[in-house]
Structure 1
Amino acid sequence: MKNLKQPYIYLLIIHVVIGLLVFVVPFISKIYTLSIFVFGLLYVIKNKNRNNEVLIMSAYVITAEVLLRMTNGAILNEFGKYAVMIFMFTGIVYSGFSNRAFIYWIFFILLIPSVILSVFSLNIDTDIRKAIVFNISGPVCLGISAIYCYERKITFERLKSVVTALALPLVSIVVYLFLYSPSVKDVVRGTDSNFATSGGFGPNQVSTILGLGIFVFFAQMLLNSKNKFLLMVNGFLVLVFAFRGIVTFSRGGVMTGVLMIILLLIVLYNQGNSKARSKVGFIIILTFVAGIGVWGYSSIQTSGLINKRYANQDALGRDKKSKLSGREVLIASEFQMFLDNPILGVGVGRNKEIREEETGIEAASHNEITRMMAEHGTLGIIDLMILLFTPLLLFVNNRQNIFALSFLAFWLLTINHAAMRLAAPAFIYALALLSVQINIPEKPENSLD
């Protein structure tokens, strides 16, 4: 993986084969899980993280995570987050971190009071460790990743290699999805999120990672295609991921991917010269036409049901009462918990218990923002402000990280509809904190000064 650009096509083919193998022989998925972690750790240790190898391996893990979980290969349910945390901690040991990352230490400190509160407030019959870990592992993964990435210098070429590492497992996922449900027409019967088109796994999470795939291969097509052949391959993959994302019938991931692309194009347009702007304009028109084509094909394959899904209608064309698939109830209950416990919140993991006691609804939060408010109170709001404004301030001072706004948007939109079930929003958020050097920097990569 020292240079992911040259063997790109071969790596894509290898991951096509991986997708085939885990479908035919599911046990291979467990071997794949162990191989990723062991190879990744050895890769980082052997190179002593001189060139931010932890970013390459963490990027690979977060997109492989969905495939591992949908094929029961993830030995631990939180494998993705644990692997990223271990990689990042190893990177910190070898390469240190910026003294200016103290803001994320404050983020960590503000999480502690509600964790302590939960130890005393959770029900006796609740597995306290699991309840806390389930809700806090995402923020902890984000915090460690943020501390590592904060103002860490990295060349734009290396950042493109990180994007390529994100891309590879995505190919295995889409191959698996086509094998799992080769005919979309045969498995789509209504307008609810579809498990059959999502590989039997949660449509919300599959849509999230496919939406990221739309953006990743669009970025590959736009910025990392050295010739017409690679341009066509990456362009084709954008269309494939758009189609498979749409037919999950889970809207959040697809809309997030589209917004990420829009933000990238806006940044490129604003930072480019007149010639570059004309090219961006042409790309926008081409993307719009391609988008209409993919949507039309998806509509045909779903017998028009996808149109009704995005219009928030059922299969008979009647408007659904809920515009957020029932999430309004969860959001309202968590907001009320915040109003009742505005300082420290109800404690980590406690909001699920309270909701079940008061409403009879047994469901974990889908919205990380209201979960943080309910479980951490005002301290949670402060943490959210830290997470939102820090990367924006960094982008104002260093606009060479052209992906920063797109990465931030992925985190913000994903935690609004899928909380932090996956490691992806935590790691992608951290990438927005990198100090990217498009021109050759005077100081070596991995510098923190």
Structure 2
Amino acid sequence: MNFSFLRTIGLHALLGVFMYYFRSFGDIYLVLILVYFFRKAANTSANHKPLIFLYGCAYVVSVEVLFRMSGGTIFYEASKYVIILFSLCGIYERGINVKSFAYIFYLFLLIPGVYITLYEVDYGLNVRKAIAFNLSGPYCLGIAAIFTFGLRISKKEMLNLLRHFLYPLISILTYLFVFNPNVSEVVGGTGSNFSTSGGFGPNQVATVLGIAMFIMTIKFFYYSKNNFDKILDLILFVLFSFRAIVTFSRGGVITAILMILSFLFFLFLTTNGKQKRSIAISGLVFVIVGYIIWSISTIQTNGYIENRYANENARGIKKEDISTGRSDLFAFELKEFVENPFFGIGVGRVKQVRFERSGLHVASHNEMSRIIAEHGLLGLIAFSIILIVPLFFHLKHRRNIFFFPFYIFWFLTINHSSMRIAAPAFIYALTLLNYTNENPTLHRQQAIAEE
């Protein structure tokens, strides 16, 4: 039992309630986060400064959605800029791994699209906002990847990283229960539900709650050693899973389930016979708990959640498009790429062009199709880099049992939610960590290092 961990969880649970009643606190909260992590880094040995900034990035990834739910930050993309800042500080402290230069090239490939936008500027388009909104995510990914490339992290340090993800998610959980304590009162159909999502985008809320589901699974199977910790993990898993399901946004929940299955598969492969039996028994417990969660969710949503996952409307009639319109958006963006293959239509213009041609004022939900539509062949090369480099990296660092869950999260999230939040960008960067199941090691590197 870790009393410091419990105290921090309790503090963040209260913070979620506080943020609900004092929503303008977000700006102060963001400043406090910056002060805390910079002060902690200043008081930490040079060997561990990169880890402090890594923890800071994880914390901001989770708190971003809380800020957006409460509407409490000065500007919408503030969290991504903070992650970029922390990543740059981490790069300064540990240097640049020479093998990460692919990501520097990736960042340069995104620049020409800005000039296309400036040249093809549309009436009524806020150019600065459009460019910032659509490039903040990719640049967050690229800079974070340069920071984490080859960064050594031990099993204990990974637990600390996951805890920094978890703390703001606890605040989000309590915020949701205060915002909507009775789910059954606000559910009347099968569409994504803003009332059960804290008044914010169900897709994004479900995505971060899915991260919480994954973290509690890791703690239960991999880190928790006593019954108290395991029971606490299960309770939090139930609460996070329930709130994720009742958002009626399937992407975050399905992604979380696939992450969990991937993690358990590789954990099972790397353990001995006795540990395999323990994992199997715990897995059976999880299946039973999952059935209970689903049953509660079905009751609380008056059965609508079963219709949602069966791709049926409220009357039980099968819907033709399981993607809820995303396939049409994807097809439109591919068409724009075919018509503008070299440099694309310009950063941030896909939404405007779609409105001009179809009357639909809808942003892209797929990062892959967006990047090639807006950046053309340069975007295709850029996406190929971020798709392939982690796979080659993993060939030399196969001990990282977290690699495939993180990679799955990134790939699935950008295909159902694009990069609206920082989570897929930063969690992608975690695939490049050099994970070791050993005691903490030194992290300081030369400015240019081979490994």
TM-score, with length taken from structure 2:
0.95
Residue pair 2:94, 2:443 contacting (<8 A) in 1 also: no
- CA separation in 2, counterparts of 1:284 and 1:432? 25
- CA separation in 1, counterparts of 2:116 and 2:20? 44
2:41 equivalent to 1:40:
no
- CA separation in 1, counterparts of 2:187 and 2:435? 44
- CA separation in 2, counterparts of 1:224 and 1:307? 33
* Cα distance, 1:74–1:48 mapped onto 2, change above 3 Å: farther
- CA separation in 2, counterparts of 1:119 and 1:96? 34
* Superposed displacement of residue 267, structure 1: 0.9
2:20 equivalent to 1:27:
no
Residue pair 2:337, 2:373 contacting (<8 A) in 1 also: yes
- CA separation in 1, counterparts of 2:225 and 2:6? 12
1:438 is matched with: 437
2:387 equivalent to 1:388:
yes
* Superposed displacement of residue 263, structure 1: 0.6
User: Which deviates more from structure 2 when the two are superposed, residues 52-61 or residues 271-280?
Assistant: 271-280
* Cα distance, 1:272–1:256 mapped onto 2, change above 3 Å: same
1:312 is matched with: 311
Q: Deviations over 1:314-349 (max 9, x none)?
A: 111112233212222211110100111122211111
Residue pair 2:150, 2:434 contacting (<8 A) in 1 also: yes
2:414 equivalent to 1:419:
no
- Could you tell me which amino acid in structure 2 is paired with residue 444 of structure 1? L
- CA separation in 2, counterparts of 1:278 and 1:342? 54
* Superposed displacement of residue 124, structure 1: 4.1
- CA separation in 1, counterparts of 2:135 and 2:28? 28
Within a 5 Å distance, the mapping from 1:282-321 to structure 2 comes to: 282-321=281-320
Q: Deviations over 1:240-277 (max 9, x none)?
A: 11100000000000001111100101111122222222
Residue pair 2:210, 2:241 contacting (<8 A) in 1 also: yes
- Could you tell me which amino acid in structure 1 is paired with residue 375 of structure 2? H
* Cα distance, 1:5–1:406 mapped onto 2, change above 3 Å: farther
User: Which deviates more from structure 2 when the two are superposed, residues 213-222 or residues 272-281?
Assistant: 272-281
- CA separation in 2, counterparts of 1:374 and 1:435? 34
Identity of aligned residues (%): 40
* Cα distance, 1:335–1:115 mapped onto 2, change above 3 Å: same
- CA separation in 2, counterparts of 1:352 and 1:42? 41
- CA separation in 2, counterparts of 1:83 and 1:431? 17
* Superposed displacement of residue 91, structure 1: 1.3
* Superposed displacement of residue 313, structure 1: 1.1
User: Which deviates more from structure 2 when the two are superposed, residues 23-32 or residues 299-308?
Assistant: 23-32
1:398 is matched with: 397
- CA separation in 2, counterparts of 1:292 and 1:11? 30
* Aligned pairs, number: 445
- Could you tell me which amino acid in structure 1 is paired with residue 42 of structure 2? I
- CA separation in 1, counterparts of 2:61 and 2:297? 27
SS in 1 for 2:47: coil
Residue pair 2:298, 2:304 contacting (<8 A) in 1 also: yes
2:237 equivalent to 1:245:
no
Q: Deviations over 1:172-217 (max 9, x none)?
A: 1010101111000100000000000000000011011111110011
* Superposed displacement of residue 49, structure 1: 5.6
- Could you tell me which amino acid in structure 1 is paired with residue 30 of structure 2? T
* Cα distance, 1:255–1:49 mapped onto 2, change above 3 Å: farther
* Superposed displacement of residue 48, structure 1: 6.2
- Could you tell me which amino acid in structure 2 is paired with residue 322 of structure 1? D
* Superposed displacement of residue 105, structure 1: 1.1
User: Which deviates more from structure 2 when the two are superposed, residues 237-246 or residues 115-124?
Assistant: 115-124
Residue pair 1:122, 1:349 contacting (<8 A) in 2 also: no
- CA separation in 2, counterparts of 1:221 and 1:262? 14
Within a 5 Å distance, the mapping from 1:153-302 to structure 2 comes to: 153-302=152-301
- CA separation in 1, counterparts of 2:385 and 2:58? 23
Q: Deviations over 1:268-327 (max 9, x none)?
A: 112222222222222322222211111111001111100001111111111223321222
Residue pair 1:185, 1:303 contacting (<8 A) in 2 also: yes
- CA separation in 2, counterparts of 1:6 and 1:373? 49
The runs of at least 4 aligned residues of structure 1 exceeding 3 Å deviation read 445-449
Residue pair 1:218, 1:261 contacting (<8 A) in 2 also: yes
SS in 2 for 1:436: strand
- CA separation in 1, counterparts of 2:281 and 2:124? 60
* Cα distance, 1:267–1:202 mapped onto 2, change above 3 Å: same
* Unpaired stretches in structure 1, ≥5 consecutive residues: none
- CA separation in 1, counterparts of 2:284 and 2:378? 45
* Superposed displacement of residue 169, structure 1: 0.6
- Could you tell me which amino acid in structure 2 is paired with residue 347 of structure 1? G
SS in 1 for 2:435: strand
SS in 2 for 1:126: coil
* Superposed displacement of residue 40, structure 1: 2.2
Residue pair 1:33, 1:75 contacting (<8 A) in 2 also: no
Residue pair 1:30, 1:72 contacting (<8 A) in 2 also: no
SS in 2 for 1:362: coil
- CA separation in 2, counterparts of 1:425 and 1:36? 21
- CA separation in 1, counterparts of 2:416 and 2:370? 12
* Superposed displacement of residue 368, structure 1: 0.5
User: Which deviates more from structure 2 when the two are superposed, residues 380-389 or residues 42-51?
Assistant: 42-51
- CA separation in 2, counterparts of 1:277 and 1:49? 39
- CA separation in 2, counterparts of 1:418 and 1:46? 38
* Cα distance, 1:6–1:54 mapped onto 2, change above 3 Å: farther
* Unpaired stretches in structure 2, ≥5 consecutive residues: none
- CA separation in 1, counterparts of 2:366 and 2:122? 23
Residue pair 1:154, 1:446 contacting (<8 A) in 2 also: no
Q: Deviations over 1:355-385 (max 9, x none)?
A: 1111011111111011011111222222222
User: Which deviates more from structure 2 when the two are superposed, residues 68-77 or residues 303-312?
Assistant: 68-77
